[in-house]
Amino acid sequence: NIQSSSAAAAAAAAIDKPAKKPRKKAVTAKSLGLTKDEFDSIKAAPIKRTLKDIVKKLAKQVDEDWHDGYEDQAETKGEWFEAIQEPLQAVLDIGVGKKTALLQCNEVLKIVS
């Protein structure tokens, strides 16, 4: 009777414990079949940083001269469009063309949108 109650307690404890999650594998250029340059071209952090800096610059320009600063503001908007050109091309080449690194490509698209 003692054995059955300890077995029941062990079974109850096992039910309460969440299952261990499988360890995530590190995502590398090699694991995705990409070169280092290709992999670097779809890294979200540098793209996000660059675009954020441009947006801050534009916000500052608008705050300083919202009425007559349209020429500088238009130039800054042009910088933003130029900055998204390479990452979007990388998404097309890698995500669509090579059909790989879809998670990373999705992150790039979310940043740009």
Which residue type, as a one-letter code, is found at position 78? G
**Are the CB atoms for 76 and 61 separated by under 8 Å?**
yes
Token duo for residue 72: 């500088």
Per-residue confidence (pLDDT) for residue 106, from 0 to 100: 98
* pLDDT the model gives residue 92: 98
CA angle in degrees (0–180, nearest 5) for 88-91-92: 90
Tokens of 85: 């050109």
**What's the pLDDT at 10?**
60
Q: Give the global pTM.
A: 0.74
Q: What is the pLDDT of residue 39?
A: 96
Across the chain, which has 113 residues, the per-10-residue mean pLDDT values are 58 62 80 95 97 97 93 97 98 97 97 93
